[in-house]
Amino acid sequence: MNAPMELARRHRLQWWEALPWIAALACFFAFPNYLAFGTQVLVTILFALSLDLVLGYAGIVTLGHAAFFGAGAYTVGMMAMHWGWNEPLSGLLAAALVAGAIGLASGLVLLRTQGLALLMLTLCTMALLEQAANMGAEWTGGFDGMPGLSFGKIFGLFGFDVLYYKSQYLYALATLLICFLAVRTLVYSSFGQSLTGIRENLLRMHAVGAPVRARQVIAYTISAALAGVAGALFAQANGYVNLAVLGLERSAGVLIVLILGGYGRLYGAFVGAIAYMLLEHLLAKAYPTAWQLGLGVTLIVVALFARNGVIGMFDALRRRFGGTRT
């Protein structure tokens, strides 16, 4: 098969791409008592997916992605707390707009730098927002956060299930599906291809006259908006927001998730979030005081033997034993 044909075929939906979603729905019926945890996993997948767009595709290294997650979470939290605006879907939209705006504004400045300087500046942006949320206690609840937020029914039909997270799980799943399809379309578009080009060879993209900076800023903004949606989902599903949504721990955690799964390959976010969170969750349950040891050893093994993450490991195995690529 010639190359253009393969490129054209590549972005068509394959039959197996329905499997994760069917599995996620099956989990809803099979594990009704685990949906609170399941909802956190879905939120983390969406957050990791947004990071994949900048880190995996555009090659923008960031340690401050929680800034946008937090901006989204605080947007819906503050709207519900101060204006009584608790309609969930418009909340998601508002969170996307606010986080996207912060992404655009900071991206215009930050993306003039690269490498370590960029890494530090993204970290600083997040720290600034965190400190602002800490100091503006009147508005944000400060360190103690905003507890007991309640949100309206989804489509006016499905109320949030405080105890079993049933509606939150399906709501998060549907939101993730829509965002995933958007990201998938984006990365296979010519815009997405040019992002990969920027990641692979910045100088050459400049040389061929591609508007490098503009594309980076656009990717950064879209990614910020998606992270904002993830943050808003987190706040709505749990009914509270506090400073931890803006912390370095969240930024670093999502980075680990993405690298573990494999970055720059769409499904890395899924595999990474599920593998990392499930492992952490089960270990912590079995050994409340010593689970970090098991998690640490696993991460070291993955870092040593699967440099491209779990998906990369499967790719390598397939190349070795499967032979042909379709």
Partner 1 sequence: MKKWTPASALAAAAFTACSLLAAGATAQTVKVGVVLPYTGVGAEFGQQADRGMQMFMKLNPKAFDPYKIEIIKRDSKSPSGADAKIAVQELVAQEKVDILTGFTYSPDAIASAALFTEAKKPAVIMNAGTAWITNLSPMISRVSFSMWHAGYALGEAAVKIVKAKTAVIGYTDFPPGKDSLDAFKRGFEANGGKVIDEIPMGGAGQVPDFTPFFQRAKDKKPDVFFVFVPAGDHALGVLKTYGALGMRAAGIKLIGPGDITQDIKLQAMGDNAVGLITIHHYNADLDNPANKRLVAAWKKEYGPNSTPDFMGVQAYDGMAAIAHVVTTLKGKIDPDAAINALRGWKYDSPRGPISIDPRTRDIVMNEYLSELVKKDGRLVQKNIGVITAVKDMCKELAEGRCKQ
Q: Where are the alpha helices (DSSP H) in 83-114?
A: 88-110
Q: 162 vs 297, which CB is nearer to partner 1?
A: 162
Beta bridge partners of 241: 146
Torsion angle of the four alpha carbons 61, 308, 184, 211, in this order, in degrees rounded to the nearest 10: 40
Task: Collect all residues with Cβ–Cβ distance below 8 Å to 281 and sequence separation of at least 6.
Answer: 37
Beta bridge partners of 146: 241
Q: 116 vs 163, which CB is nearer to partner 1?
A: 163
Burial group, residue 10, by CB count within 10 angstroms (0-12, 13-18, 19+): exposed
Other beta carbons within 10 angstroms of residue 14's beta carbon come to 11
* SS3 category, 241: strand
Binding residues for partner 1, rule: CB under 8 A, are 26, 29-30, 32-34, 36-37, 40, 134, 137, 142-145, 147-148, 162-165, 234, 238-240, 242, 244, 247, 249, 284-285, 288-289, 291-292
Q: 138 vs 325, which CB is nearer to partner 1?
A: 138
Q: Which of 24, 68, 102 is nearest to 232 (CA)?
A: 68
Q: 155 vs 287, which CB is nearer to partner 1?
A: 287
Q: 172 vs 310, which CB is nearer to partner 1?
A: 172
Q: 90 vs 150, which CB is nearer to partner 1?
A: 150
Q: 244 vs 313, which CB is nearer to partner 1?
A: 244
Shortest separation between residue 26's beta carbon and partner 1, angstroms: 6
Shortest separation between residue 45's beta carbon and partner 1, angstroms: 16
Q: Which of 46, 208, 216 is nearest to 114 (CA)?
A: 216
Q: Where are the alpha helices (DSSP H) in 52-87?
A: 66-82
Q: 39 vs 194, which CB is nearer to partner 1?
A: 39
Shortest separation between residue 36's beta carbon and partner 1, angstroms: 4
Shortest separation between residue 33's beta carbon and partner 1, angstroms: 4
Shortest separation between residue 11's beta carbon and partner 1, angstroms: 32
CA distance to 67, 151, 264, per residue, from 160 (Å):
26, 7, 34
Shortest separation between residue 25's beta carbon and partner 1, angstroms: 9
Beta bridge partners of 154: 158
Shortest separation between residue 245's beta carbon and partner 1, angstroms: 8
Burial group, residue 234, by CB count within 10 angstroms (0-12, 13-18, 19+): buried
Q: How far apart are CA 26 and CA 51, in angstroms?
A: 27
Shortest separation between residue 93's beta carbon and partner 1, angstroms: 24
Q: How far apart are CA 279 and CA 127, in angstroms?
A: 29
Q: 194 vs 238, which CB is nearer to partner 1?
A: 238
In angstroms, the first-to-last Cα distance of the chain is: 10
Shortest separation between residue 312's beta carbon and partner 1, angstroms: 28
